[in-house]
Structure 1
Amino acid sequence: MRVPWAIMGGVNKIRDRIEVAIEITRDSKVPILLMANPGLAKSTVVYNWARRNGYHIETLIGSRFSQEEILGFQVRAEDRETGEHYLELLAPHWYRNILDQENNFHVPSVLFLDELSTAQENVQGALLQLVFERKIGNGRTLPESTLVIAAANYKQNIPFQFNIMAPILNRFCIINLSYESNDSFLDEFLQDEADLAKDPVVFAEKEITPWQKSYLRDGLKMMFRTLFRSFEEDNRDMDKDLFYTMDINNQVYNTMYDDDSRYVYNFISGRTLWYLYKISLSFLRKGLTMEIHGAAILNMVYGLIGLGTNTFTEKQRKAYLKSAETLYRRLYDVLSSRSDAGTPAAGGEVQSASLDFRGKSVADAVNEWVLFHESSVLHDTNDPNLEALAIHIGASYGINAEDTERLRQKITHNKADLYTFSNDMQRLDYLIGILVEETKDKNSKTDPLGRLCGIRDVYAELRDEAVKLMMKNTG
């Protein structure tokens, strides 16, 4: 699934995508991996950002470093008092440089792991502890201010014998960098150097409320429960449950870097869920909005959980990505527009419908709304998306005699129209059942519910005819 670009800084889309990611890793301490074809200025942007923001930068080139240069060198030392010899782990030079900058000059550092895709497997193994635990040998730890940023090329751009192991990919939030058109590529890289540095992304600094933290945790739980439940319902005859869904098969995941597509995504794990929570808080703290920064936000979300699980088929993964986008947009919109439970943030506006039902069948539109609704912590039958759904269903099924007669002719002579109508009516029953259950303790029905019931009543006779036709066709 392609993530559309957002206009975040004129034509400097690669620069802005990277700088948004760096700001989020600076705030959240979630390490990022920049994935791109060669020559898209990954290293240049990182160096320019570090210089502009007062960071020292230490670069480790994957193809040039050994395991010892990552974790430290074992040297033979002698105890001066006893004369006994022992092995001592000497910290690598890059680590000593970072400590020197931090302790003596109070300058933070970027640890830049470049060309990760050409690092040998034993080097990647050494990086596992460094990236996730921020430690090297003998328990030495990176300073809190140090940022860990990596860069790599897609599989088709490197010799076939190189690979990035799934465990190392899972320790990063993956940032996919690519262009949607040749024109945007030419516009960015044919600028004068001065223009390339213009109008960097500006970030706000907002305080995260306890309500937002609580809502985010609950919202992510409900989001993934809804996603998994939807998947499991599709496979209920196979007796699949959440434990099987989340069963990690490394033989499958080891091929995730070999994908021929333009994107590399991460699989869902406990680590990536924790990362998603942390970067979501950072999105809010930095004042990012879906309207302006939606492409960058979703890029990072997919970079953490976009592959789903090893039980997904390609068709299911595409449906999962689409549903995940819908649910995460809803969750983030609520988080960014409210400062406490039920109260719009200062200057906030009443939310409009965020789901787009255009061109969709009634059944598909109902399924999308139900997925959205069940994932929301705030179950609200006054949700504008419900109003939009009722309007969509009303437009699909008019309530005058001409509409019903026209539909009768279609379903009588066309099996596809018959099945579509029957499926739509079943989903309409399902939707009405949900709304009736949620409004049973209220004095009056909601306006959308009344209209939906009216549509169902108008088509009651035709529904009976459709049932007879279906029985005849299957008999």
Structure 2
Amino acid sequence: MKGINRIRDRIEIAIEITRDSQVPILLMANPGLAKSTVVYNWARRNNYHIETLIGSRFSQEEILGFQVRAEDRETGEHYLELLPPHWYRNILEQESRQVPSVLFLDELSTAQENVQGALLQLVFERKIGNGRTLPESTLVIAAANYKQNIPFQFNIMAPILNRFCLINLSYDSNDAFLDEFLQDEAELVKDLVVFEEKEITPWQRDYLRDGLKMMFRTLFRSFEEDNRDMDKDLIYTMDINNQVYNTMYDDDSRYVYNFISGRTLWYLHKVTLSFLRKGLTIEEHGAAILNMVFGLIGLGTNTFTDTQRKAYLKNAETLYRRLYGILASRDSPGALESASSDLSAALDFTGKSAADAINEWVLFHESSVLQELLDPNLEALASHIGTAYGISPGDIERLHQRINHNKADLYTFSNDMQRLDYLIGIIEDEQKGVPIETAGDQVGGGHGALSLLRSIRDAYGPCRDEAAQLMMKNI
């Protein structure tokens, strides 16, 4: 994103997206990053009334309404009536004047649990007591501090986090922080983000649905590659462990991510359509777009190690960038083929092990985002593997010596060969029933690549048997 107003722009983009999609947002940051200031400035510039509920100062009744004793004038019978809270009456009054409102839930991290429970209905169903509903024009925006900045007894419940798109606001360098917050007031309002209004085509809507579906199947598979049953992968990854999720907010890192649920997938679909409608581009607004995407599905599963989480985020970013790149640049499916050169540009396998290179190719290839494009990467992948594992007698003897004297080489070789089998299986499945003379057109020239990969597998057969025995001794 261009400019130095990084925090301001990320918040304002998120507000515009929530205005379009009605997906509520939660701004996560350390104290003093101007969360409230940016929200108030945006509301003033856009002629929004703003009502603020401070988490630590409000009770459950002030959120959902007050029960009072009333009397029926005709019968004289007494009953309990729920009076709407003052902030709700203010919003309705402004709505009657055709002035929209922002409901700003500040200091959410210090709200008591019973208050957070009351907010569940307000945030997701947009209702207070007795079924009274927020006006459609009302935006719900919340702000909270990270766990390390508040007293230890406070927490944000996982069900509350899952009802928001989480926006993590932080700086990668001291210079960026100083540049933004040492500006004069006049400079703070310069170069505001400009949004377009584009129409979403039926093709974009359909392709987004299918693309997200395959994107997540590919992500799930990348962590459960031994299980070819996609539905089991899906169930496993979305199996919610409440004990783990209730400690989400306690994460030691400076980011808090959501967990994948039906709600967050639905939110992701809605905000992606809003990105497209507002004319956002990956090149100019990529940081803000990915912040919101990770804020919905960044945790992914309750069984991630730190290494897995980093790999998951990297894979999710790559797949989403590709999906969004196609959606943002195409108005119809007929134009898709003309974009194959830039959207399926060859992957860079330089310096990667054969196993890592294969994993990267599979990640891209198996997502439907790329299935309609000619994939030039397979030949490059086969060449990369061929360079690592030449099939001359000298190459095989040198490897034989290495795996007998170096455990690291043994493990690398065994892993590479396992992934090689996996790769060959994928290509064979896709070329099943395809005549030899046309097979070269499948998977980007797959017939020649398949022949090379099979020859490598055959040439290293004896080494593989020997490696398997050595591995058994080392267990």
TM-score (norm. length: structure 1): 0.88
Give secondary structure in 1 for the equivalent of 2:460.
Answer: helix
Once residues 88 and 313 of structure 1 are traced to their aligned partners in structure 2, the CA distance between those partners, rounded to angstroms, is 51
Contact 1:390 1:448 survives alignment (8 Å): no
Q: Superposed, which structure 2 residues align to 1:228-307 within 5 Å?
A: 228-233=220-225, 242-307=234-299
Give secondary structure in 2 for the equivalent of 1:224.
Answer: helix
1:17 aligned residue: 10
Q: Superposed, which structure 2 residues align to 1:271-420 within 5 Å?
A: 271-344=263-336, 350-353=342-345, 355-376=347-368, 379-380=371-372, 382-386=374-378, 388-390=380-382, 392-393=384-385, 396=388, 410-411=402-403, 413-420=405-412
Change (3 A) 1:201 1:345: farther
For the pair 1:163 / 2:160, whether they are aligned, the reply is no
Q: Superposed, which structure 2 residues align to 1:97-116 within 5 Å?
A: 97-104=90-97, 106-116=98-108
Contact 1:390 1:451 survives alignment (8 Å): no
Change (3 A) 1:57 1:355: farther
For the pair 1:149 / 2:149, whether they are aligned, the reply is no
Name whichever of 339-348 and 272-281 sits farther off: 339-348
How many angstroms does 1:291 deviate by?
2.1
For the pair 1:65 / 2:62, whether they are aligned, the reply is no
Once residues 130 and 345 of structure 1 are traced to their aligned partners in structure 2, the CA distance between those partners, rounded to angstroms, is 46
Partner AA of 2:220 in structure 1: F
Contact 2:105 2:143 survives alignment (8 Å): yes
How many angstroms does 1:156 deviate by?
0.5
Once residues 334 and 315 of structure 2 are traced to their aligned partners in structure 1, the CA distance between those partners, rounded to angstroms, is 25
Partner AA of 1:467 in structure 2: R
Deviations 1:170-190 (A, max 9, x none): 110000000001111111111
Change (3 A) 1:403 1:295: farther
Once residues 83 and 142 of structure 1 are traced to their aligned partners in structure 2, the CA distance between those partners, rounded to angstroms, is 32
2:130 aligned residue: 138
Partner AA of 1:376 in structure 2: S
Instruction: Give the share of equivalent positions with the same residue, in percent.
Output: 78
Once residues 389 and 369 of structure 1 are traced to their aligned partners in structure 2, the CA distance between those partners, rounded to angstroms, is 8
How many angstroms does 1:361 deviate by?
1.1
Name whichever of 21-30 and 414-423 sits farther off: 414-423
Partner AA of 2:21 in structure 1: S
Give secondary structure in 1 for the equivalent of 2:464.
Answer: helix
Contact 2:417 2:457 survives alignment (8 Å): no
How many angstroms does 1:162 deviate by?
0.9
Partner AA of 1:220 in structure 2: L
1:173 aligned residue: 165
For the pair 1:467 / 2:459, whether they are aligned, the reply is no
1:34 aligned residue: 27
Once residues 231 and 186 of structure 1 are traced to their aligned partners in structure 2, the CA distance between those partners, rounded to angstroms, is 40
What root-mean-square deviation, in Å, do the aligned CA atoms of Structure 1 and Structure 2 show?
A: 2.9
Change (3 A) 1:188 1:397: farther
1:3 aligned residue: none
Q: Tell me, which stretches of 5 or more residues in structure 2 are unaligned?
A: none
Change (3 A) 1:387 1:296: farther
Once residues 252 and 429 of structure 1 are traced to their aligned partners in structure 2, the CA distance between those partners, rounded to angstroms, is 36
For the pair 1:449 / 2:446, whether they are aligned, the reply is yes
Change (3 A) 1:471 1:119: closer
How many angstroms does 1:87 deviate by?
2.1
1:91 aligned residue: 84
- The counterpart of 1:44, out of the listed 25, 34, 37, is 37
For the pair 1:221 / 2:221, whether they are aligned, the reply is no
1:186 aligned residue: 178
Partner AA of 1:116 in structure 2: L
Deviations 1:294-344 (A, max 9, x none): 221121111111122224344433333333223222222222232222424
Change (3 A) 1:354 1:296: farther
How many angstroms does 1:262 deviate by?
0.3
2:74 aligned residue: 81
Once residues 373 and 87 of structure 2 are traced to their aligned partners in structure 1, the CA distance between those partners, rounded to angstroms, is 58
How many angstroms does 1:75 deviate by?
2.0
Change (3 A) 1:349 1:441: closer
How many angstroms does 1:362 deviate by?
1.5
TM-score (norm. length: structure 2): 0.88
How many angstroms does 1:101 deviate by?
1.1
Contact 2:379 2:446 survives alignment (8 Å): no
Deviations 1:47-95 (A, max 9, x none): 1111111211111111111111111112222333333332221111111
